[in-house]
Structure 1
Amino acid sequence: TFKTHLFYIQGENEDAQTYATLRTKAEEVEQAMQLPGNRIFYLSIPPSSFASVCEGLAQAGLATSASAASPYSRIIVEKPVGRDLASAQQINEVTGKVFDESQIFRIDHYLGKETVQNLMVVRFANSIFEPIWNHKYIDHVQITVSESEGVGTRASYYEEAGALRDMIQNHLLQLLCLVAMEPPYSLDPNVVRNAKMEVLRCLRPIVGKDVEQYTVRAQYAEGVAHGQPIPGYRREKGVNPNSTTETFVAVKAFVENWRWSGVPFYLRTGKALPKRASEVAVQFKDIPQILFNANPAAPQPANVLTLRIQPDEGLSLRIISRVPGTRAQTHPVEMDFQYSDVFGCPSPEAYER
């Protein structure tokens, strides 16, 4: 059975004996099961521990060189990669000393979500969208990742990261790139990455007094989640009572290129919010209110394309329709697609991919 192939070793990140024990166990299992010796080290740990782990793997001889003639050794680094530019560069330097770049995989599990993978398909496989996917027709884009739970048992990590580092600089920026990128000439990972990089290079920097104008930071207070009381963030176990770490952040961003000139991208994420929801909403510009708007003080709702990432993965398009009857009345309606309804099976979780 699967569980007979699982093994557990406990140790400290900075203890050389941990890695010696790991190597002994790995070689023992590889020999018993006649495995070729391919190894993947998945670092789902705080960024501050990356350096000591890489050095420990190297000293124990667990990080073999990249060679087609020998078993592979790879390292997977999960977000966030560092706290800032300097620490990210330091992590890249440390991992680069031990592993070749071809052996290093920096992942964002959000890219494994079904609707996130569907974003490129919606954009580039449907001729109705790409011609209007620009500043002439789109008013703004909202990217939301809302969590209803508090920090729970992750207080020590969250105190080090905060919502900005935990969510904005990886998950939400990945979504922004998929919405804003130019069509890649192939689906090769490097080609797609380069298309995303062009978007990031066009992001307007938020510096100085712009921070106050274009960003919001906050912490959750005492409240109720799923019918159960939760303490305010500063009263959570493991949180500094004077903490200034944000649990909510909102950013108004601009991609300064020809396609997106003047179109705001609203990014927001937080914990202990009223509901759990992740979605991308593309709101199109209003039409001239001439033919069907009987009340100029209450204009018609705009057309909105919403891609639901979780829960209820799917896509909806809000359009304006005529209300049956003798009067020329209109009403917004939703053209809705849900994965579970169409394909009849739940989508794999991001980590399952």
Structure 2
Amino acid sequence: MMRLKSIILTGLAAVTASGTTTPGVAMAQHNNQVESVASISEAESERVDAILREFVADYRNDPMALNSRFGVKLGQEWWSVEVRRNETASARGRLTDHSFGPHDIVLSRGAPEQPTWYFEIASLDVLERIASGEVNAGTAAMQSFGSDRVGVETRDMDGFASTSGDEGDMYIALSHFFTKGKPEITRFGRDNSLMTHGAQATALHMMKGFRVMHFSIGPQEVANDDPRMEFGQMPNLFVVTSGQATLYSDDGPVEITEGMSIFIPQFVRHRIVNDGDEPLEGILVLYGDNSDFAFGTSYPTYLEDVNAWHRDYQFHENTQDDE
């Protein structure tokens, strides 16, 4: 038995296993309960293997590859990925002269020999959509609640308990292992976004300290209308690029329009009502992770801890590996 990774991610619903879409919106859908397939055929297994090998081939030359070891599971089938980053500094030792890759990456059939974290993909259809760039893995993995069943689940194997640092490794893999090219392109907009919190959104990039999304709230739509979603343990920064709406918060209603940024600290209620005729769109930055602050640590305490760590941090000299 595998232990479900108990991580609460404010974010996105996931693609449906059947591939159905809401009429008029190519990737948006409101149901965030995606059923995973129990098994796949040998032909499907071979296709999964081929897709993962394409990701590995690209990741070998990705400057964002990190030393890591994780699993991928689809149906009853397992794959194991081991990454050893190769970074070479020049004689001058300047970062601009560093070269990254080719990294040593081994993809093998079967579960990882040592317990670790892994990605469970709901279906081959979900993986195909990720491979084509129609939806990215970060989008497919985002949850509004821990009970959500999504297209890409992050889980721990029995005998392994992820740390906050492991979650950071997961974010990097979601953003970079499951993408291709340099630079890596993510398409966003209402035609290829997913519904969450009353808005349509696309995950643009995910790191431990912050996650970046594009959001779109349609006319007469309300974001965070569910009382459980009115506030969170971490700050949000909304950068509005088009449209107008009304923000209801602790200070009462505020009209928000294009060209505004709104920083909402932790535990400040916020509900956005689009009472205009056009979508309200922009960029949302989520600082930190709910899972870091759910059991007593506040975001300001987290910042103090991070700043204390940086006071003692020593830059590495010319080095090939950071393990």
TM-score by length of 2: 0.26
Could you say which structure has the larger radius of gyration? 1
Would you tell me which structure has more helix in proportion to its own residues? 1
Would you tell me which structure has more strand in proportion to its own residues? 2
